[in-house]
């Protein structure tokens, strides 16, 4: 869970860091920063990052999830059944 938060934080901070680098190279003032455009770019990069990581991210689990169920008056917790079991 912390990994997902950190990845999203990096994607969010990236436009601001790139703008700060650009301003530092050009030796301009930060007072006239286009904050609305930077915020829009940050939100867009987070959304694009979530979509890309959601589509192409891999999971180590290859089995089928079996949800919790009530069996003989006892709750059997959910679990993953690996192929071949």
Q: Do residues 42 and 13 touch, judged by C-beta distance below 8 A?
A: yes
pLDDT digits (tens, 9 = 90+) for 28-73: 776 677 888 889 999 999 999 888 888 887 666 678 889 999 999 9
Retrieve residue 25's tokens: 């190279």
What is the maximum span of the chain, computed from C-alpha positions, in angstroms? 73
Distance CA 18, CA 36 (A): 15
Distance CA 79, CA 24 (A): 52
pLDDT of residue 85: 67
Instruction: State the number of CA atoms in the 13 A half-sphere of 76 facing the CB.
Output: 8
pLDDT of residue 59: 66
């Amino acid at each position: 869970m912390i990994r997902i938060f950190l990845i999203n934080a990096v994607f969010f901070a990236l436009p601001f860091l790139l703008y700060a680098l650009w301003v530092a190279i050009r030796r301009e003032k930060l007072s006239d920063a286009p904050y609305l455009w930077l915020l829009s770019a940050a939100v867009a990069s987070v959304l694009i990052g979530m979509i890309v990581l959601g589509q192409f991210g891999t999971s180590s689990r290859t089995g089928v999830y079996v949800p919790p169920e009530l069996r003989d008056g006892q709750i059997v917790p959910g679990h993953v059944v690996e192929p071949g079991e």
